[in-house]
Amino acid sequence: MSENSLAMTALIFLGAAIIMVPLVRKLGLSSVIGFILGGIIIGPFGLKLTGKDSDDIMHATEFGVIMLLFLVGLEFEPKKFWKIRKKIIGMGLSQMLITIIVLFGIFYFAKWQTDQALVTAICFALSSTAIVLQTLKEKNIFLTDAGEASFSILLFQDMSVIPILALLPVLAKRPEDNEHEILLQYLPDWLQPFSIIIGVLILIILGRYVFVPFLRYVSRSGMNELLTASSLFLVIGVSELMASVGLSPALGAFLAGVMLATSEFRHELESQIEPFKGLLLAVFFVSVGATINFFVILKDPMFIFTTTVIVLIVKFAVLFGVGKFFKLKLNQNLIVAFALSQIGEFSFVLVNYSTKLYLLNPELNAQLMAITAITMCVTPVLLIINEKLIEPHFITDTHDSETIQPIKERKIIIVGFGHFGSTVGRLLRVNGIQATVLDNDAERVNLLKSNHFKVYFGDATKPGILRSAGAETADLLILCLDDPEKNKFILEYARKNYPQLKIFVRAKNRLDAYDFYNNGVDNIYRETLGTAVDMAVDILKATGMRSYAARRLGKRFMVIDKAMVKKLAKEQLKDKITFTVKESLEREAELLAEDSQSFDESQWTDNEEI
C-alpha cells in the first residue's frame, strides 16, 4: 500500500463497515459498535490498512454529523423548537457547567496543571451527537421523553462549542495563529459576542428568501439529479458559511434544517440527504475506531483506564442528577444518562485545537484522544447493559403505556395530487383528516401550498421519499398517480418494505386491476368503472327505465364486475386458464338478468358476494 490514495482508504473504510456491521447486528448490537470495531481492525494496530489519510477521512466524514443534524432539523418545526427551549437552556446549561466543575475539581486534585485540567474538563463535558442520535433513532426512541431530553442537551452542547472555541485562546494567553479568515473579525468589536444571533438571523433570512425559491427554481427543471446536487449544495454550503462566520457547522446545518422543515421540499431533501448521511456517518464511526492509539494506551494503561472510568461515572452522575431535577421518569432518565455519558466528537476537534495553542502537550493529546474514542466505544455496551440488566427491574404496568412508546398519529400518505388525488384529499380534508401529500409537479405544489394544503414536493417512485414521508409509521397509503406503472412500482415497494400499510390504489382499467389484485391489494379504484356505470345508468333512465330499477342494475353490475375481475386476476396466475373473459361476460349477463329474482339455491354457491 505505498500509493495510499484517498479512494483506496475510503474503500477500506467502507469494506470494514460492510463486513462488521451485519456481524454485530446478528448479535443484536447497535451498528455503531460494528463500525468502531471495524475501525479498530483496519487501524494501525490491526491490519494497518489505514494510511496517513485517516485524519483527512475523519475530517471529511464530519459532514456525516452535519448531515445528521440537518436531517434532525428537517423533522423539527420551529414551533417544536420553541416549545423545548427551556429544556435546551435548563438541562443543557446545568449539565455542561456541573460536569466541567466536577471534572476540573477531580483533575485539579490529581495534580494536573490548572489550565490542562480546565481544558480537558471542558472537552470532556461534551457528548457525541452522532452516536446518540444514531442510537436513539435505531432503537426508535427518538420521540420519547428520553429522546427529547437527550436532544436538548446535545443541541446546547453544539451551541456551546462556539464560545468554547473563543475561550480557548484566552486560556492560552498567547495570540492564536488564526488558520482561516473569520468574517466575524470584520464586525465591530461590540458586535462580536452576538455572533450566534447574527448567524441565526442570516440563516432565517436565507431560509425564507433564498433556499426555498432556489429549490423551486431547480425543481421546475424537472431533473432529479439537480435536486440531489442542490440538496448537497445547500447542506455543505450552509456548514461552510457557518464555519466562516465562526459558528459550529453542525449547528448551522441544524438551523438550516429547521428553516426548511415547513417548506414543501422537506421530504424530498430528507430522502436526498439520507443516503449520504448514512454513508458518511458510517465512515466517521470507523475512523473513530481507527484513531484509537493503542501505543499510548499500553504506555500508561492505568492512567487511561482510571480517567476513562472516572469521566464516565461523573458524566453519568451529572446527567442522572439533571434528569432527576427536570422530573424525568427513572427508566427514561437512565437511558439519557447512559446514552450521553461518552465524550463527543467535538472533543477531537477541541483537543487538537488546544494542542495547537500549546495548552496540551502531544502526549496528553494522544491520551485524551484515546480516552474519547474508548468512551465512544463503551456507550453501546452501556446501553445494552441498561436494556438487558437494569431496565427489566422497572417493568411495571405503566411501562408500556408511557415509556418507550413513540407518539403515534394515524397517518395517511397521498401520492399524486392531480384531479384524482385532490378530489380524494378534499373529501378527507372536509372531515378534518390531514394527510401528507406528495406530488412531483413543482407548479402544482406551489399552487396547492398557496391554498393552504400541506403538500410536499417529491417523486414517490424514489424509495427514500416514502420513508421520509413517514411510511414507517403511517397507516394508509393512497396512490393516485396517473401512470398505473408508477402506481404499481410504488405499491410493490411499499408492500415489501412497509407491510403494515393499508394500500388504496387508482387503476385505469381491468388489466391494471388484475396486476394490483395479484400484488395483494384489495382496494382498487378503476377510473373506467364508476363513471362509466353512472353514465350507463343515466342512459338506461333515458331509454325509459325507472330510475330505481336503473340504479339497482348499476349497483349490481358494479358488484358483479368487481367479483369477476378478482376471479380473473387469480386465473391469470394459473398455467391453464379455466375461466375465460368470454365466459365471465356470459356469466355476468346471466347474473344481471336474474336481478335477485331466482330462488334456485344451487345458483348462489359461487356468488357469495352478490
Partner 1 sequence: MKKTLIIFAHPHFEYSHANAELVKAYDNLDNVDFKDLYEEYPDFHIASFRERKRIREYERLVFHFPLIWFTCPPLLKLWIDEVFDIKWMAEQNHPLQNKDAFIIVTLGGKEENYSPDGLYTTTVPELMKFLILSLKVNGIQVKEILAIHNADELTEVDLAKYTTEIRKTLRTP
Which residues form the interface with partner 1 (CB under 8 A)?
552, 555-556, 559, 596, 599-601, 603-604, 607-610
Q: How far is the CB of 602 from partner 1 (least distance, A)?
A: 11
Residue in the structure block whose three cell numbers are 432503537: 139
Q: Toward partner 1, which CB reaches closer, 123 or 591?
A: 591
Q: Toward partner 1, which CB reaches closer, 484 or 554?
A: 554
Q: How far is the CB of 594 from partner 1 (least distance, A)?
A: 9
Q: Toward partner 1, which CB reaches closer, 527 or 594?
A: 594
> 3-class DSSP state for residue 388?
helix
Q: Toward partner 1, which CB reaches closer, 2 or 596?
A: 596
Distance CA 321, CA 337 (A): 9
How buried is 52 (Cβ within 10 angstroms: 0-12 exposed, 13-18 middle, 19+ buried)? exposed
Q: How far is the CB of 609 from partner 1 (least distance, A)?
A: 7
Q: How far is the CB of 413 from partner 1 (least distance, A)?
A: 25
Amino acid at residue number 312: L
Distance CA 498, CA 430 (A): 28
* Dihedral sign (CA 72, 95, 350, 161): positive
Q: Toward partner 1, which CB reaches closer, 294 or 604?
A: 604
Cell, residue 50: 489505514
Sheet containing 523-526, strands listed edge to edge, beginning at the edge strand earlier in sequence: 455-457, 435-439, 412-415, 476-479, 502-507, 523-526
Q: Toward partner 1, which CB reaches closer, 22 or 530?
A: 530
Distance CA 195, CA 191 (A): 7
Q: How far is the CB of 599 from partner 1 (least distance, A)?
A: 5
Confirm if 382 and 341 have CB atoms less than 8 A apart.
yes
Contacts 24+ apart (CB under 8 A), 325-329: 325/94, 326/87, 326/90, 326/91, 326/149, 328/145, 328/146, 328/149, 329/145, 329/402, 329/403
Distance CA 424, CA 418 (A): 10
Nearest-10 crossing angle of helices 330-339, 129-138: 140
Distance CA 378, CA 131 (A): 11
Q: How far is the CB of 537 from partner 1 (least distance, A)?
A: 13
Q: How far is the CB of 566 from partner 1 (least distance, A)?
A: 15
Of 166, 165, 134, the C-alpha closest to 150 is 134
Confirm if 351 and 134 have CB atoms less than 8 A apart.
no
Q: Toward partner 1, which CB reaches closer, 172 or 558?
A: 558
Q: Toward partner 1, which CB reaches closer, 82 or 548?
A: 548
Q: How far is the CB of 426 from partner 1 (least distance, A)?
A: 20
Q: Toward partner 1, which CB reaches closer, 82 or 599?
A: 599
Q: How far is the CB of 549 from partner 1 (least distance, A)?
A: 13
